[in-house]
Amino acid sequence: MARDAAPVRPTGRAQAGPLCLSAEQVELCLGSDDGEGLMLYLRFKAGIGPGPTAGLGRALVELDGRTSLEREARDVLAALNDASGKRFRPTEANLAPIVALLAQGRSPTDLRSVAADLARRWGSDGGTASMVKPSRVFDGDTFADHLLRATRDGARADFSRFSWSKREGGAP
């Protein structure tokens, strides 16, 4: 280290354990000659440098973000499987609508709530049970409506259908 250079202070984002790259990230690195970008990315991941803003380092950060969205999407898909009793595989077609909603800023908790609500409502009826699939449950055009209903119905989740039917006016 040169005498004039100030040491880089940790930024508090240090990760425990080894730094790992996904297969896509390794492939990107092998196809690039941007060694400086790779080093900036590794320093950022280790918590000892700022995030790269261009080149290979920025591309690796973007792949990192997409990979974490895919992990969250797999967890949400597993929650749908648990709620519906189905076994959707984590294919691109099944994960894409979930990743799209997560990328828009929807929380995994919201997606799980909608999955549980629609699996409960649609899955109990033979005519609508076939609608319980990721492309329908996580449709970007109707998700806000599904979330509103799941949130509203969540407040009544502790009541059985019988207790609601006994109220004046029947079930809401």
In DSSP notation, 88-149 reads ----HHHHHHHHHHHHTT--HHHHHHHHHHHHHHHHTSTTTGGG-SHHHHT-TTTHHHHHHH
Q: What is the pTM of this model?
A: 0.55
More confident residue, 61 or 88: 88
Output the CA angle 107-110-51, nearest 5 degrees: 5
Query: Taking all residues of the chain, what is their mean pLDDT, rounded to a whole number?
Result: 76
pLDDT tens digit sequence for 1-45: 444 444 444 444 445 567 777 777 788 888 888 888 888 888 888
Name the residue with higher pLDDT: 127 or 131: 131
Q: Which two tokens stand for residue 166?
A: 């006994």
